[in-house]
């Protein structure tokens, strides 16, 4: 483990106590805090507790950045559940997260935030799109209104509740900007019918045209 010069070694209880007493834990790398919590004599409960409390603060700041306030209770329920998973992992050095947090703290917390949002969406059963198995012949779906409207596109996309529909349209807009014919492959990548994707795209295009018309 690579500690920075002024960071105590994980097992250096006296060194950590000095950092706690001088209220300078805030400058320590979070991965070093995790190593100390995991490697320190568990009998040093007060010191371990203070270090874990600081780990919890760092976790919370990252989770707050990646879990938006658009979730129930401003996202705090999701943040606390995810923080619970991560704190348990810190105290279980053999777990996948417990190991990963020692070397890639921010990346691990960020992944947990993303995965929590994914699992939450699944749990809420938001993915309730109209599945239509009637396959249509392949068509060119790239014809799209003038792309000067990026900001408007995003405002329209953000209002779409079905995450998979939103993803399909994001991929479509991205492909349209790269001038590739991807409507059909979006359907296959997302496991929805081509007809469904086509309907989504037409709805989006109609809405964008309406916005463009309103602005004239």
Partner 1 sequence: MTDPDKETRRDKVLRDFDAACARPTVEQITEWTARHPEFADDIRDFAGVLWDEAAAGRQGEEAEVDEIHLARARSHAFNVLHDVRGGDASVVAREADATFDRLMQDAGWTTVALEGAMDLSREVLSDLFRGRMAPPVGQRLVDAVIGYLRTTEARFMQAYEHALARPSLGQARANRQPSIVRRSFADIVRASDMTPERKAYWLEED
Long-range Cβ contact pairs of 155-163 (< 8 A, separation 24 or more): 156/204, 156/207, 156/208, 156/211, 157/204, 161/126, 162/126, 162/127, 162/128, 162/129, 163/121, 163/126, 163/127
Q: Mapping DSSP to helix (H, G, I), strand (E, B) and coil, where does residue 152 land?
A: helix
Residue selected from 136, 171, 211, 212 as contacting partner 1 according to rule CB under 8 A: 171
Residue range at the interface with partner 1 (CB under 8 A); choices 5-13, 62-70, 140-148, 202-210? 62-70
Residues 71-110 that bind partner 1 (CB under 8 A): 76, 80, 83-84, 87-88, 91-92, 96, 106-107, 110
Shortest Å, Cβ 53 to partner 1:
4
Burial level of 62, CB count in 10 A (0-12/13-18/19+)?
A: buried
Q: Contact with partner 1 (CB under 8 A): which of 61, 124, 139, 202? A: 61
Tell me how crowded residue 173 is: count the other CB atoms within 10 A of its CB: 19
Q: Tell whether residue 114 is a contact of partner 1 (CB under 8 A).
A: yes
Residues that bind partner 1 (CB under 8 A): 42, 45-46, 48-50, 52-62, 64-66, 68, 76, 80, 83-84, 87-88, 91-92, 96, 106-107, 110-111, 114-115, 117-118, 121-122, 127, 154, 157-158, 163-164, 166-167, 170-171, 174-175, 182, 185-186, 188-191
């Amino acid at each position: 483990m690579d500690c920075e010069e002024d960071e105590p070694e994980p097992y250096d209880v006296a060194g950590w106590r000095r950092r706690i007493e001088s209220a300078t834990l805030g400058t320590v790398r979070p991965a070093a805090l995790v190593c100390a919590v995991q490697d320190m004599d568990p009998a040093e409960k007060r010191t371990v507790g203070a270090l874990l409390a600081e780990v919890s603060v760092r976790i919370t700041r990252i989770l707050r950045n990646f879990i938006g306030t658009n979730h129930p209770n401003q996202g705090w329920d999701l943040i606390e559940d995810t923080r619970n998973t991560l704190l348990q992992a810190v105290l279980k050095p053999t777990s996948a997260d417990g190991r990963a947090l020692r070397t890639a703290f921010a990346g691990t917390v960020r992944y947990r935030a993303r995965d929590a949002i994914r699992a939450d969406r699944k749990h809420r059963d938001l993915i309730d799109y109209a599945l239509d198995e009637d396959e249509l012949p392949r068509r060119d779906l790239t014809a799209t209104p003038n792309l000067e409207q990026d900001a408007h596109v995003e405002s329209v996309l953000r209002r779409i509740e079905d995450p998979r529909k939103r993803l399909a349209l994001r991929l479509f807009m991205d492909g349209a900007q790269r001038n590739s014919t991807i409507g059909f492959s979006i359907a296959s990548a997302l496991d929805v019918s081509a007809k469904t994707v086509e309907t989504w795209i037409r709805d989006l295009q109609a809405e964008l045209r309406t916005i463009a018309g309103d602005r004239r």
